[in-house]
Structure 1
Amino acid sequence: FHILIFLLNAFVLLAPSIFRLVHFSSGASSGIGKATAVLFARLGSRLALVARDEQRLKETVAECKAVNQTQHPPDKEPYIYVTADLLDPIQIEAAFSKTMAHFNQLNILVNNAGFMPQDNIETVSMQHFEQTMKVNLYSAVLLTHLAVPALTATKGTVVNVSSVCGTRSFPNVLSYCVSKAGLDQFTKCAALELAPKGIRVNCINPGVIVTPLQRRGGMSDSDYAAFLERSKVTHALGRAGEVDEAAQAIAFLASSASSFITGGLLPVDGGRSAMCPR
């Protein structure tokens, strides 16, 4: 009963400050990005969703419509998607321009896209290193740069999706760790620079979350199963996280419930960043 009251209070707290706001999210076709889009739709946001996979984007939009069936005129469609390869800055700019043409405002930018190759200093290829940097870091920098005028007008927020790999070091994911450490520093620098404009910039640093990320980076199904099993030991709470848990943290940082937080790195990692080898 007490847990139900807490959850209802949390929903009441977040919903008014996100209702009818425009939310732009990269990497929205799966994992944390998809869960965040569906949560924001439930809370009443209007959404622009960006990823490479058109079919999965359509599925995300369908889920958004399923959780919020408010009727809108065709020219006021609340959920749009744009296919774009985040390796290409021209496509990123086009996706952002399409969003602004449709909504004419932006309140929340979520930089969520991620790529995680399995590499180390001996095996890393410069092609994969550059690709990881472009998806995980450059796209966030470019989108935030493009969004500043619109976010200034709305006193909006930016939420970056980083990783425990940004604050802690792990072997065999070299490119990913470096890119996420850069994203953490970008979050803090941008927060300082944009605070005078009333724009808040924060990030979440998830631990292991059950998503397709590792397998898309080359991890086999058997290795991934072992990876999740090991999470029971490497995370203080004894398990990997779920995408909805990361999405709730993003919603908090995007809402007025976090109005005095900027430049923050919020661990959503089941205690992993607090753990030491044992």
Structure 2
Amino acid sequence: MSFNDKVVIVTGGSSGIGAAIAIDFSAAGAKVCITGRDKKKLDNIAKKCKNPLAILADITVENDLKRIVDETVKHFGKLDILINNAGMGLPASILSDNAMEVYDTVMNTNLRSTVYLTHLAAPHLIKTKGNIINISSICGQTVMGTNTFAYNVSKAAVDHFTRSVASELASSGVRVNSVNPGPVMSDGFEAVSQIMTDKGITFKQHLTQQTALKRLSETKEIADLVLFLASEKAKGITGSLFVADNGFLVNTD
């Protein structure tokens, strides 16, 4: 697939899935804007892309979101693809004293920033008949783990936001889809995987056993799916959620 002369914004592009997406788009010829909050990590990924625009930004800050869109369009002249990837999760029980604080933080990061950046980018995407891909999670479709109500709700909302905006923007020629990964081997996951569970196995082994295929995805696999959905090969696909979870949702073991 070629993305020559296509302009792409990837939020959360300094590590994990976002970094893999940015690197793959760049390798396919796209002009990529990558955003992140960690300058060292952002610069490291920028070195792996061809002439990228790297913007240090916090997606929970409205002015930063405006700056991302404005600087991208000013630098590259247009916008073709928006990848709403940046997200986070914080543990909290609904009974916790900090339940609403965690809820607000997670929703602002995972949902509000996605909504607002889409709002800002949409006029530019209409001009190019571009497309949007939201990185969600299987947690939007199932309850995975305890004390994760805020994250689960945020991803369920991202899924329905995807459908809603896909319906609205279809008449303007803009496609909107969602990729919903299960557990993915990324920088943060590798650190967490060292934690031993009560069953005496690593977190990584525990999650692997919960998938039907008995494997976990790598970030490159998610990037491959994203590039397909952003390409002309997927020109008839909009308003869809694409699960990439190695059979986590259908495992019956």
Amino acid of the residue matched to residue 189 of structure 1?
A: S
Specify which of 159, 168, 187 is matched with residue 133 of structure 2. 159
Please name the residue that 2:37 is paired with: 52
Aligned residues: 248
Q: Percent identity?
A: 35
- CA RMSD in angstroms, aligned pairs only: 1.7
Partner of 1:119: 92
Does 2:122 align with 1:148?
yes
1:192 aligns with 2:167: yes
Equivalence for 1:61:
46
The more displaced of 161-170 and 120-129 is: 120-129
1:88 aligns with 2:61: yes
Larger displacement relative to structure 2 (225-234 or 193-202): 225-234
Residue in 2 that maps onto 1:181:
156
Corresponding position of 1:203: 178
Deviates more, 1:224-233 or 1:51-60: 224-233
Q: Is the 8 A contact 1:241 1:269 kept in 2?
A: yes
Q: In the TM superposition, what is the alpha-carbon distance from 1:226 to its structure 2 partner?
A: 2.3
- What letter corresponds to residue 32 of structure 2 in structure 1? L
Match of 2:105 among 128, 131, 138: 131
Whether contact under 8 Å (1:206, 1:269) holds in the other structure is yes
Report the secondary structure of 1:110's partner residue: strand
Kept in 1, the 8 Å contact 2:162–2:176? The answer is: yes
1:102 and 2:87 correspond: no
TM-score for both structures, normalised by structure 1: 0.85
Judge which range, 112-121 or 22-31, deviates more.
Answer: 112-121
Deviation at 1:125, TM superposition (A): 2.8
Give the Å deviation of 1:220.
7.8
SS of the equivalent of 1:204 reads strand
**Partner in structure 2 of residue 253 of structure 1:** 229
Amino acid at match of 2:12: G
Deviation at 1:200, TM superposition (A): 0.2
Contact kept? 2:91, 2:102, Cα under 8 Å: no
- Which aligned segments of 4 or more residues in structure 1 are displaced greater than 3 angstroms? 212-216
1:157-196 deviation line (CA, Å, top 9, x unaligned): 1000000101111232111111000000000000000000
Question: Using the alignment, how far apart are the partners of 1:214 and 1:233 within structure 2?
Answer: 16
Report which stretch shifted further, 183-192 or 54-63.
Answer: 54-63
Deviation of 1:120 (Å): 2.3
Q: Specify every segment of 5 or more residues in structure 2 that has no aligned partner in the other structure, as ranges.
A: none
Change (3 A) 1:164 1:37: same
Please give the secondary structure, in 1, of the residue aligned with 2:249.
helix
Give the drift of 1:134.
1.1
Task: Look up the equivalent residue of 1:272 and give its one-letter code.
Answer: F
Answering whether residue 153 of structure 2 is matched by residue 168 of structure 1, we say no
Q: Is contact 1:136–1:180 with CA below 8 Å preserved after alignment?
A: yes
Counterpart-to-counterpart distance in 2, 1:102 and 1:96: 10
- Name the structure with the higher helix share: 1
Tell me which residue corresponds to 1:24: 9
Deviations 1:44-67 (A, max 9, x none): 0001111111111111110113xx
Task: Tell me, yes or no, if structure 1 residue 33 matches structure 2 residue 18.
Answer: yes
